[in-house]
Chain A
Amino acid sequence: DGGITQSPKYLFRKEGQNVTLSCEQNLNHDAMYWYRQDPGQGLRLIYYSQIVNDFQKGDIAEGYSVSREKKESFPLTVTSAQKNPTAFYLCASKQNRAAPGGYTFGSGTRLTVV
């Protein structure tokens, strides 16, 4: 079955450490996105990529970095510069910018700073 795989499901980070969240899709989608979800909040866009080797900042990109070296993969690094990283992180993909329909989401990574 095609889909998006996020790993790990739960991640604990010490303050001052960088961590990388994995997102892999086998849907052959061009566009990929990273969202952050906090309790009682909507989804806020961190970064997005429309094509390999290209990505743009979203609304809350500070303290995060991404890469898009392969179509299937869009890893997110949460750096020590992110002041409040504890959150639920969701990766999503879409066939391409112009295609109708919605996003396909992964099952998420819950990051906790200890």
Chain B
Amino acid sequence: GQQVMQIPQYQHVQEGEDFTTYCNSSTTLSNIQWYKQRPGGHPVFLIQLVKSGEVKKQKRLTFQFGEAKKNSSLHITATQTTDVGTYFCAGGRGGSNYKLTFGKGTLLTVNP
């Protein structure tokens, strides 16, 4: 079955440093989504990428979808303590995203 691998599993940074998490799929994806889960909370949808090579920005967050549509990354510039949480990628196949496969997530902690 489809697998979505996410690295690193954990990342600890000093406030102000940059952070990147990477997502790789064993199969070509139709789209990829990113979610953030604060400690003790539930996942919150951040963004969806659909096109090959697509890049989207949300303030300090930059999301990329690979040319082959098998990998993606999330980059945070100048982390803040409010960025703390687990970031999940989720890949959809077959032209629909009604059934996503989630990566195991990257837990980001930020030292003030």
- The chain A residues found within 8 Å of chain B, CB to CB, are 31, 35, 40-45, 48, 50, 58-59, 90, 94, 97-98, 100-108
Q: Are A105 and B44 closer than 8 Å at their CB atoms?
A: yes
B65 interface contact, C-beta 8 A:
no
**Measured between alpha carbons, how far is A40 from B4 in the docked complex, in Å?**
15
Task: Given A40-B104, A42-B103, A42-B104, answer yes or no on A103-B96 (Cβ-Cβ < 8 Å).
Answer: no
B77 interface contact, C-beta 8 A:
no
**Measured between alpha carbons, how far is A42 from B100 in the docked complex, in Å?**
11
B1 interface contact, C-beta 8 A:
yes
Q: Which of B82-110 contact A (CB under 8 A)?
A: 88, 90, 96-100, 102-105
Interface SS of chain A: loop
Question: Which stretch from B14-22, B35-43, B67-75 is at the chain A interface?
Answer: B35-43
Taking A90-B42, A102-B90, A103-B45 as known contacts, 14 extra A-B pairs with beta carbons closer than 8 A to each other, sorted by chain A number, are A42-B6, A43-B102, A45-B100, A50-B98, A90-B43, A94-B97, A94-B98, A97-B96, A100-B48, A101-B48, A102-B33, A102-B47, A106-B42, A107-B41
Considering the complex, give the chain B residue whose CB is closest to the CB of A91. B42
Q: How many residues of B contact A (CB 8 A)?
A: 26
Considering the complex, give the chain B residue whose CB is closest to the CB of A48. B99
Chain A to chain B contacts (Cβ below 8 Å), 10 pairs: A42-B6, A42-B88, A42-B102, A44-B102, A48-B99, A97-B96, A98-B96, A101-B45, A102-B90, A104-B45
